[in-house]
Structure 1
Amino acid sequence: MTVLLLEDEYPAAERLQRLLLQAAPDAQVLAVLDTVAGALAWLAVHPAPDLILSDIQLADGLSLEIWEQAVVPSPVIFTTAFDAYAIRAFQAHSVAYLLKPVKLAELQAALAKRRQWSELRVRSEELRVDSDSPMLNSSLLTLNSIERMLDALRPYKTRFLVRQGEQLLPLPVADAAWFLSRNETVTLVATDGRRFVLDYTLEQLEGLLDPARFFRLNRQIIAQLLAVRRLHPHFGGKLLVELHPAPTEEILVSREKAPALKAWLEG
């Protein structure tokens, strides 16, 4: 496995290389680069590596600019001390978004995702080539299934950096009961009732949260599975959702969305 390492801090680069060799003894680091410009120049004249390990903040800017300026087919594992760039990281071929200091177990799990991602990409390309065959419909069905699996391998958010007074605190996603949008402001309500304003829209959160654990009930609210206590039938086929902690107003799910909510709750 060939690897391009993007990191502007020498000690961090050394540590990450040691972890990488522990997690994947066959890994070959082709280059260690510390700038966006250097990475773009390197990628312009070298074949795409099997994997890119990249810090977000490099010496001359954000590494995310690389994927905004060039087509880079390699899967990426981002490593960073901040989680504020997760949304933009999703636009690259990101298979993991690891917060520093990176732990060996986290890197091993990310590399396992990378292997699955690469295998599915190869199979997807094979099916695209075969799409003119007499088995076209069957191939397209399989291709769609593989592309859904590729989407499923994309990383979901594991914590938020929230403001409490003058401090910034990491809050695990598991501690988020629901997210409410009001007057263009999104509030995270924790399972213990604490409230935090986030710099996200509900649309952005839908792409960052695991759909097996979070469901968008209506235009204003996304709830975690464990926060849903009861459903009550309501007029016109709607459902009244009882959440904990309890919101200050009724949470209604439309008649059209009610079957999807029930299916989600059943698992």
Structure 2
Amino acid sequence: MTILLLEDEYPAAERLQRLLLQAVPEAQVLAVLDTVAGALAWLAVHPAPDLILSDIQLADGLSLEIWEQAVVLSPVIFTTAFDAYAIRAFQANSVAYLLKPVKLAELQAAIAKLHATRKAWLNEELSQASPHSSLSIERLLDALPRAYKTRFLVRQGEQLLPLPVAEAAWFLSRNETVTLVAADGRRFVLDYTLEQLEGLLDPARFFRLNRQLIAQLPAVRRLHPHFGGKLLVELHPAPAEEVLVSREKAPALKAWLEG
């Protein structure tokens, strides 16, 4: 297994290389890079490695910028000391998010998950492939499990508090500001758009009702028929304004509620 390591702290890079050799004895670390610019330059001239192990914060910015600026097909395991920095990580081909200091068992589990996904996908592809067909890397990446956000770092006065996603009732966008409303009525302003939240939240638990609002399943109390085939959604806590779902989106909402 070939691995590209992105880490800007020398002791952490050394420790990760030792852990990698324990987790995957045949692992070959192709390069250790500490900047976004260096990683982009390396990826532009080298074949894609089997795996990228990347810190979120590098010397010149967030490593997530790499996936925003280039097409990177390699799966990635992110490491970070601060979960809040993984804001845009779902746009990358992520296998896992490991908090520092990374533990051997967690690294082994993440690599095992990657191997299991690849094996299942390859077996399916080989069973369906014709003698002249080729395997699609993109389909492998699509099959990788996605981790969804589990908490938000919210401001309460002068403090920053971790708020579990399970405590969110709904998210409202007004005047380019997104507010998280908790199940107990507390309100927190978030530095996200609803579009970003759609990629971060588990679609089995969250549904975008309209342009302004995303709700979590327990917050949806009742549906009421409305004019023109629309649905009026009763939420708890109740928003200040009516929440309407379009006629076109109503069937998807009902299917989501039924599970």
The TM-score bracket by the shorter chain reads 0.7 to 0.9
Note the C-alpha offset of 1:52: 0.4
Judging changes above 3 Å, is the alpha-carbon distance between structure 1 residues 116 and 72 closer, same or farther for their aligned structure 2 residues? Answer: farther
Question: Using the alignment, how far apart are the partners of 1:143 and 1:179 within structure 2?
Answer: 43
Distance in 1 (alpha carbons) for counterparts of 2:41 and 2:119: 26
Instruction: Report deviation, 1:266.
Output: 0.9
Aligned equivalents of 2:94, 2:65: Cα separation in 1: 14
Rounded to whole Å, the distance in 1 between the matches of 2:203 and 2:40 is 35
Q: What is the RMSD computed on CA atoms of the aligned residues?
A: 3.9
Cα displacement (A) at 1:265: 0.8
Partner residue, 1:2: 2
- Structure 2 counterparts to residues 36-47 of structure 1, below 5 A: 36-44=36-44, 46-47=46-47
For residues 159 and 112 of structure 1, do their structure 2 counterparts lie closer, same or farther at Cα, with a shift above 3 Å needed? farther
Alpha-carbon deviation of 1:53? 0.6
1:12 aligns with 2:16: no
Deviation at 1:197, TM superposition (A): 0.4
The CA distance in 2 between the partners of 1:30 and 1:188, in whole Å, is: 43
CA–CA distance in 2 between the matches of 1:6 and 1:65?
A: 13
- How much has 1:12 moved relative to structure 2? 2.6
Change over 3 Å in CA distance of 1:65–1:259 after alignment to 2: closer
* Aligned equivalents of 1:157, 1:141: Cα separation in 2: 41
Amino-acid identity (%)? 90
Q: State how far apart, in whole Å, the 2-side matches of 1:245 and 1:142 are.
A: 54
Counterpart-to-counterpart distance in 2, 1:101 and 1:173: 24
**Structure 2 residue matching 1:255: 3-state secondary structure:** coil
Question: C-alpha distance in 2, partners of 1:138/1:33?
Answer: 38
Q: Distance in 2 between matches of 1:141 and 1:204?
A: 40
Residues 4 and 202 of structure 1, relative CA distance in 2, 3 Å threshold: same
- Name the CA distance, whole Å, in 2 between partners of 1:261 and 1:195: 25
| Segment drifting more, 62-71 vs 186-195 | 62-71
1:137-160: per-residue Cα shift (whole Å, max 9, x none)?
999999999978854643322221
251-260 vs 5-14, which moves further: 5-14
2:125 counterpart SS class? helix
CA apart distance, 1:42: 4.1
Offset at 1:184?
1.3
Asked if the contact 2:93/2:141 (under 8 Å) is kept, the reply is: no
Pair 248,78 (structure 1): closer, same or farther in 2 beyond 3 Å: same
**What aligned pairs does 1:73-84 form with structure 2 within 5 A after superposition?**
73-84=73-84
Q: Counterpart of 2:131?
A: 140
In structure 2, distance between residues paired with 1:266 and 1:9:
48
- Give the stretch that moved more between structures: 166-175 or 150-159: 150-159
TM-score (ref. length: structure 2): 0.78
Change (3 A) 1:125 1:64: farther
**Higher mean displacement: 212-221 or 27-36:** 27-36
Instruction: Specify whether residues 80 and 182 from structure 1 end up closer, same or farther in structure 2 by C-alpha distance, changes over 3 A only.
Output: same
Q: What is the CA-CA distance between 1:198 and the residue it aligns to?
A: 0.7
Per-residue CA deviations over 1:204-252 (Å, capped at 9, x if unaligned) read 1112211111101111110111222222233333222222222223222
> Would the aligned equivalents of 2:77 and 2:96 in 1 still touch at CA under 8 Å?
yes
| CA distance in structure 2 between the aligned counterparts of 1:243 and 1:148, rounded to whole angstroms | 38
- The one-character-per-residue Cα deviations of 1:37-68 (angstroms, maximum 9, x if unpaired) are 44345445543221001012222333234345
Is 1:214 aligned to residue 193 of structure 2? no
Report how far residue 104 of structure 1 moved: 5.3
Query: 1:95-125 CA distances to partner (integer Å, 9 max, x unpaired)?
Result: 33444344556545543457768xxxxxx99
Length-normalised TM-score, structure 1: 0.76
The Cα shift of 1:73 comes to: 2.4
Inter-partner Cα distance in structure 2 for 1:53 and 1:205 = 25
Following the alignment from structure 2 to structure 1, what is the Cα–Cα distance between the partners of residues 179 and 189?
A: 4
Distance 1:68 1:142, change over 3 A: same
Q: Which moved more, 1:13-22 or 1:226-235?
A: 13-22
Shift in alpha-carbon separation, 1:47–1:208, aligned structure 2, 3 A: same
Q: Give the direction of change, closer, same or farther, for the CA distance of 1:150–1:33 in structure 2 (3 Å limit).
A: closer
